[in-house]
Amino acid sequence: MRVTDMPEEVFNAYLAGFTDGEGYLGANQPEGMRIILANCVPDVLRDIQARLGYGSIKSQKQRDNWRERFTLDISNMCDAYNFLTRCRPYFQIKAVPADEMLRRIASCRAAHDAIIARNAAIVMRAEAGEMRKALATEYGVSPQLISRICKGHKWPSERSRTAKRRKRDKFGRFTEPYHLASPS
């Protein structure tokens, strides 16, 4: 039975078993969280990626006399949460790292929610007429940040939006230099 044809619970159990044997869960990476599934047969990883709807497949050949290895990388926190919650009931070997990653995701979400609540309070108080400089002092941020919050600034930077449009080679490296481009 192909991965794409499996019932949802069977796929989740298969994915957990595959991850237990061929996967890596890294919660303490300097660049954030990573889930990596490795295999020498790219079609297996492509089927998993197609079924999940996320992740990126990379190819690497570490030595000339070794086979080419393929990895399915998941580093987006929302995708990692989805992956872990679908696999967690079935993990045998990777249960402890999965729990650590889920705790870390919960902590990040709580911090994000706290910032959203803080920003809502700042907007409400600024609209009520409180001085922005006093709000900045109270919340321990700059007056410029208070202004950005009150204007409804969207946090992804121009650099990150531009990076999403840039082309990558088969090793995941950018093929063109970084430059700020006008939004299309």
Instruction: Name the nearest CA neighbour of 38 among 21, 17, 51, 55.
Output: 21
Specify the 3-state DSSP secondary structure of 58: strand
Instruction: Write the pLDDT tens digit of every residue in 128-164.
Output: 999 999 999 999 999 989 988 998 876 555 555 555 5
Residue 49 belongs to a domain = yes
Is residue 83, in this structure, part of any structural domain at all?
yes
pLDDT, residue 154, reads 63
**Per-residue pLDDT band at 183 (split at 50, 70, 90):** very low
Domain of 15 in residue numbering reads as 3-113
Q: Which of the pair, 120 or 158, is modelled with greater confidence? A: 120
122 inside domain = no
Q: For residue 59, give the CATH number of its domain.
A: 3.10.28.10
C-alpha 70/C-alpha 57 separation (Å) is 7
DSSP 184: -
| Lookup: tokens for 101 | 């990653």
Question: Structural domain tally of the chain?
Answer: 1
Q: Look at the pTM and tell me if it is higher than 0.85.
A: no
Predicted pLDDT of residue 66: 81
26: in domain: yes
pLDDT of residue 67: 83
Residue 10 located in a structural domain: yes
What is the Cα 120 distance to its own chain's centre?
Answer: 25
Which of 13, 19, 32, 16 minimizes the C-alpha distance to 104? 32
In a domain? residue 172: no
